[in-house]
Structure 1
């Protein structure tokens, strides 16, 4: 049986699917698990403003934030079915659907935020976005998600040895699980919405995420030790339903692509501001920010690369990314 939210979304999408071929007018529905003031939500709304302006109001975008239409897996399924026009998700949520999305999630692949941006803004980033079309998704843009680090409820992680045996919440991704296992931790995949309670009750000892998520989800209240492992810079993806995309005329597709790309610098500016604000909030609340012995973590990642960088295309992408100066 379909989830009630999914059923409602499918029924709502029926009007779009019948209306588009005749008039090319529509309200595009988009989903996000983050709250209204989160940079990804604001960026998609900015994208919608650009689309509305350039189509003279013919196409509009409505963003359902705060997980109103379910978690990221729910949103992805709705987009694939055409029940939602689009969604913003972590690329980690796409790992088992479009395997090339695993590449930018590989641990310690990017040397800096500048390196990440240079790669994603190049043909390398476009190649990964295009590779998802066979699975039913049109990749429109990459958004920032900062660097992910470990945070714990009992004691800080300073070296690889400190992670050994800890029950660590990870995203529902085989790559994320393997990374934590390579650190010696016990990976516990679960949806974002369950993490706060799991940390509070001791179901998990730790989790890993960026500063804005650590702050906005209030995880800092139950996990005071934030260790700057900065193990991944897994980016966010703005993906569109290929079923709905193929019903749009080329001119509208062009408008959507251009508006999505133009929303990227807007999002990055908001993200940089939000990272600073979130770090200040958690530090004021008593969180302890700890530097780590990063080389000890990097040295444990070889098995992860061997397991997940398996195709010639993925190996080529990794080599190209590492060569970007």
Structure 2
């Protein structure tokens, strides 16, 4: 397996700096763009980026290709963001919650109970709000290529069903490094514990944490359900994933190649959504067959508990304007 250390050593051996626009393989004009994802090989976001690579190769006769490092081979999402900013990698798929603190416009997409459904989220991502958020990444040396929706995020834990916020009292929940998610857990009565995605399974096994929150597909593919046997349908967030590119790598491409890559990346959204819907249904059946206990939640009680968090963000004019646009598409 290629590790982050081996990858960066390889860049050094090739005489490439952290600002290299891309990795050259095999000489000539051929260029291989590197892409990363913490998810496993058959995860919909990984498969969608692989699809981008095939389309690029076909459209350019092999001149542009893409190599995917999946399963966190090159490190955590936070590390991938920095590697992309400085041009050590070209493309990365990142959960928007991990971007909240550095890219404020993503916050409106991560706030609890902003979206009513997957259909509502997709309308927002495909419209003016999605385009505005993608443009915002340019402020920190990144190019927003596309956004992938990833279902409703819900709570799961090793101890008990969670039907109301009272059931979360005193339990330790993993959260991404986002102020929004940390405060949300506190308002619901839990204790937030920021951890990298790849550390969650062992943390559940060792009871470093009692639970976490994520979408059903990730809960299944990470096999965290083997440790956490209670899934509670809280649907507290529909925060999407973002496909980002190093601005250095982007700017080093010929103009026609930039346009081609962006066009293919946007087309990959439909591919990812089809794969997501199919695999989520399979994952749900598999979890049921594995004996995971699933329960509904008192959603009005959850919305009431997190209302103070929403109230604070309503006071930020730029976010309030985006929030109104989001709700207008409900």
| Same topology, TM > 0.5 | yes
- Which is further off, 305-314 or 275-284? 305-314
Provide the C-alpha distance between the structure 2 equivalents of 1:13 and 1:190, rounded to a whole number of angstroms.
34
Identify the match of residue 192 of structure 1 among 197, 201, 226: 197
Provide the C-alpha distance between the structure 2 equivalents of 1:36 and 1:178, rounded to a whole number of angstroms.
33
**Cα RMSD (Å):** 2.0
Provide the C-alpha distance between the structure 1 equivalents of 2:146 and 2:221, rounded to a whole number of angstroms.
23
Provide the C-alpha distance between the structure 1 equivalents of 2:11 and 2:310, rounded to a whole number of angstroms.
39
Q: Secondary structure at the match of 2:32?
A: strand
Aligned residues: 322
Q: Tell me: CA distance 1:44–1:180, structure 2 relative to 1, closer, same or farther (3 Å).
A: same
Aligned to 1:222: 227
Identify the match of residue 169 of structure 2 among 164, 172, 178: 164
Q: Is the 8 A contact 1:175 1:308 kept in 2?
A: no
Identify the match of residue 109 of structure 1 among 110, 114, 121: 114
Provide the C-alpha distance between the structure 2 equivalents of 1:57 and 1:227, rounded to a whole number of angstroms.
47
Q: Is the 8 A contact 1:138 1:240 kept in 2?
A: yes
Aligned to 2:294: 289
- Which is further off, 259-268 or 90-99? 90-99
Q: Secondary structure at the match of 1:286?
A: coil
> Are 2:208 and 1:203 aligned?
yes
Provide the C-alpha distance between the structure 1 equivalents of 2:242 and 2:22, rounded to a whole number of angstroms.
27
Ranges in structure 1 where 5+ consecutive residues have no aligned partner? none
Q: Secondary structure at the match of 1:14?
A: coil
Q: Tell me: CA distance 1:254–1:190, structure 2 relative to 1, closer, same or farther (3 Å).
A: same
Offset at residue 264 of structure 1 (A): 0.5
Q: Which runs of 4+ in 1 moved over 4 A?
A: none
Ranges in structure 2 where 5+ consecutive residues have no aligned partner? none
> Are 2:249 and 1:244 aligned?
yes
Aligned to 1:60: 65
Q: TM-score, structure 1 length as denominator?
A: 0.94
> Are 2:21 and 1:17 aligned?
yes
Q: Is the 8 A contact 2:138 2:247 kept in 1?
A: yes
Spell out the pairing of 1:111-130 with structure 2 (5 A cutoff).
111-130=116-135
Provide the C-alpha distance between the structure 1 equivalents of 2:141 and 2:222, rounded to a whole number of angstroms.
31
Q: TM-score, structure 2 length as denominator?
A: 0.93
Q: Is the 8 A contact 1:103 1:309 kept in 2?
A: no
